[in-house]
Amino acid sequence: MTKSISRREFFLKSMITGSSAFFAKPDARAGILFPKNKVAAGRVVSIRDNSVRTSKNSLNPDVVENMLNTAMSAFFSVGSAAEAWAGLFSENDVVGIKVNCLAGRGMSTSQTLVDAIVKNLLAIGIPARQIIIWDRANDDLKRAGYKIQTSKRDVLCYGNDHAGYTRQLYESGSIGSFLSNILVHQCTAIINVPIMKDHGIVGITNALKNFFGAIHNPNKYHSFKGDPYIADVNLLPDIRNKVRLTICDALTSQYEGGPPYMPQWCWQHNGVIVAQDMVAMDSIAWNIIDGKRAEKGMPSLKEAGREPTYIRTAADADHKLGICEPNAIDLIEI
């Protein structure tokens, strides 16, 4: 079900519905009763704003921040973004922001969007040293423009190659992997910040696929279009229990040629997508990418032989990670 609303309609609705519906009794201990803000599976908020680009075609930080705040308020049906963030994290949490920097500066999670996320975390009292921006490797982060920071005087930023992987082998379904120490031992909560793009093997890479960056052996699990491996990775308790929010960077997206950056197949979608249900989010991303492919006269991902069936697998009775049926997804478009 899709509901398209204007910003004015959204804010009027927020005033009517109030701001306390999704809050539980507070608890001062890290991770206990968090997230207090949690909505039913299947809700996805997608916001687009073409004014996000400046005259020089760079991103306007104020507009990006406003888009994120509007989407957060709409997703949790609260009166302000601050209320939404405060209901997701305790000041004692160590929050990991899992970005995707494989493709370098052209097609990686936007620093402008990450800066807006960090600003909101700081505003609710989480110390800078308890925020970790992370991905597979320091070199990936640096190529995307991030500055490696390992001193606990500021927001941290580093890769799995700096923090290492667990000694314990974690198994789930058909996968067996060592996991990032950042995920398992350093963070109490995760914000997943993927970038929406085509993938030449598994169809699309977005929310679910982003956690291939949390295991030591992702190359083993691309056969059969990543099905069921991507779903199995996301069943791992440290992923399933710690991911409190997914914020998709759909500001610049790619509909062919991924995961490397291929500018000839990129477009400015100028969007941000917010969800807690990664399956529902990926279903929406799949539809957006197929829509752009159709607009460009290209075959659908299914017709191209790389339908991302792992998304449906993630929703099946063995995984139950979310909702993928279009009619069951509560999509709010702003």
pLDDT tens-place string over residues 14-50:
433 333 322 233 334 444 467 777 787 899 999 999 9
Q: Provide the residue ranges of all domains of the chain, joining segments of one domain with +.
A: 40-333
332: Cα separation from own chain's centroid: 17
Q: How far apart are CA 248 and CA 133, in angstroms?
A: 15
Q: How far apart are CA 188 and CA 288, in angstroms?
A: 32
Report the CATH superfamily, name and number, of domain 40-333.
Answer: LarA, N-terminal domain (3.40.50.11440)
Q: Strand, helix or coil at 292?
A: helix
pLDDT of residue 19: 32
Specify the pTM: 0.90
Q: How far apart are CA 235 and CA 311, in angstroms?
A: 13
Q: How far apart are CA 325 and CA 287, in angstroms?
A: 11
Q: What is the dihedral of CA 231, 237, 240, 242, to 10 degrees?
A: -150
Q: Which two tokens stand for residue 148?
A: 């490696």
Among residues 177, 146, 178, 168, the alpha carbon closest in space to that of 159 is found at: 146
Q: Are the beta carbons of 118 and 131 closer than 8 angstroms?
A: yes
pLDDT of residue 23: 27
Average pLDDT for 240-259: 97
Q: Is the pLDDT of residue 167 over 90?
A: yes
Q: How far apart are CA 109 and CA 73, in angstroms?
A: 22
Across the chain, which distance is largest between two alpha carbons, in Å?
A: 54
CA 189 to each of CA 90, 138, 239, 247: distance values in angstroms, whole numbers, following the listed order: 10, 21, 9, 14
